Copies of this chain bind each other. A is one copy, B any other.
Amino acid sequence: MSTSGMNYAPAPIPAPVVKENEFIFAAIGLDHGHIYGQCEGLIGAGGTLKWVYDPDEKKMDRFSKAFPFVKRAKNETEILEDKEVKLVTGAAVTSERCALGLRVMDAGKDYFTDKAPLTTLEQLALAKEAVIRTGKKYMVYYSERLHVETAIFAGQLIEQGAIGKVIQVIGLGPHRLSAKTRPEWFFEKEKYGGILCDIGSHQIEQILFYTGAKNATIVRSQIANYHNPEYPGLDDFGDAMLVCDNGATGYFRVDWFTPDGLQMWGDGRSFILGTEGFIEQRKYMNLGTKDGSAHLFLANGKEETHFNVFGKVGYPFFGELILDCLYRTEKAMTQEHAFKAAELCVKAQMQAVKIS
């Protein structure tokens, strides 16, 4: 057993891909805090954040403190009419993300939304049609893979053959509820989309990505409200099994049961089983230790290794996305993949058996 990787190491941290004003973007819709991660990711890759707009002045106030150089638009139109803006990123209420995306794409700009990117199959059909009509992108911030260093490194290890062919992915996505800090829409199912659509979207995207599948079938999905009767619209638990088109399989659980004694909002894990080894990610904490985040464990025929990759991997998605927008490529994420994950999230929720 080695305690630092002997045979494997992360690829170098990506550098910014453009200079100031070479890729100008704006933020519209600040309903979910993920918008900060979306903007930080793009800025870190060289993007220039020019505008922000949200109908709620308080949300704009808070945003302006984090990004003091940003211009506050009077309305959405002011941004959509600015020809300098190449991309709009947003974290609107989940059920409104598609409508915003349609307006953005129809204005000739690429769209980069928080996950889940939409909540119904009707929205998905509109989004697909708009991509064809406008030639623009409808990209999604699946942050639990794209903005987590162990998740990126796991992808690199799989690509290098460190665990052979991936046959199964298990994802655990617990979250702290903190109900009193949440907005009303967080508890309205037609707005947040249900737990399998909402935080389940991270998991389904990871199952598709790590298995390399183009498609999957939701063979079983479940939701429950086990312990929060005062919020009848909340699913506090959900899980699902998927069978992928390439024969691999996946299981995930998501829940709102992170207890207050835990050091972190959630002990997110990912177990990736391959024919020649396995990977475990302890993304945000190493349970029962004070060792910080970004722990990845690799075991295969030759080694059992604990990697701490905090600050060592970076987030190549954002630079790739900027270049994809500039050069109309699909290196960061294909449109097909982004939509397939969205479709399966909606289907997992639609098919879910309510078990409690």
Chain A interface (Cβ < 8 Å from any Cβ of B): 1, 3, 164-165, 167-168, 170, 172, 174, 219-220, 222, 224, 226-227, 237, 239, 241, 243, 247, 249, 251, 253, 255, 257, 259-263, 267, 271, 273-278, 280, 287-290, 297, 299-306, 353, 355-356
Contacts and interface: CB of A to CB of B under 8 A. Distances in A.
Contacts of A167: 224, 226-227, 237, 257, 356
A85 to B, nearest CB: 44
A301 B257 contact: no
A49 B271 CA distance: 42
A288 B259 contact: no
A278 B259 CA distance: 8
Contact of A287 (B237, B261, B304): B304
Contacts of A299: 259, 261-262, 267, 287
Given A220-B219, A226-B275, A301-B261, A1 B288 contact: yes
Q: From DSSP, what is the main secondary structure of chain A's interface residues? A: strand
Count copies of this chain in the complex. Answer: 2
Contacts of A260: 301-302
A220 B241 contact: yes
**Centre residue among A274, A287, A297, A355 by max chain B CB count within 10 A:** A287
Contacts of A263: 1, 304
Contact of A262 (B220, B243, B247, B304): B304
Contacts of A237: 167-168
A265 to B, nearest CB: 12
Contacts of A277: 259, 261
Contacts of A262: 299, 304
Nearest to A227: B275
B304 A261 contact: yes
**Centre residue among A168, A247, A297 by max chain B CB count within 10 A:** A168
Given A253-B168, A275-B227, A306-B288, A243 B261 contact: no
B301 A278 contact: no
Given A1-B263, A300-B261, A271 B227 contact: no
A236 B271 CA distance: 17
A23 to B, nearest CB: 39
12 contacts: A1-B288, A174-B273, A239-B251, A241-B241, A247-B355, A247-B356, A249-B355, A257-B275, A259-B299, A259-B301, A263-B304, A288-B306
B273 A280 contact: no
A154 to B, nearest CB: 15
Contacts of A297: 287-288
Contacts of A219: 220, 222, 353
Given A253-B170, A300-B261, A305 B288 contact: yes
A186 to B, nearest CB: 20
A165 B1 CA distance: 38
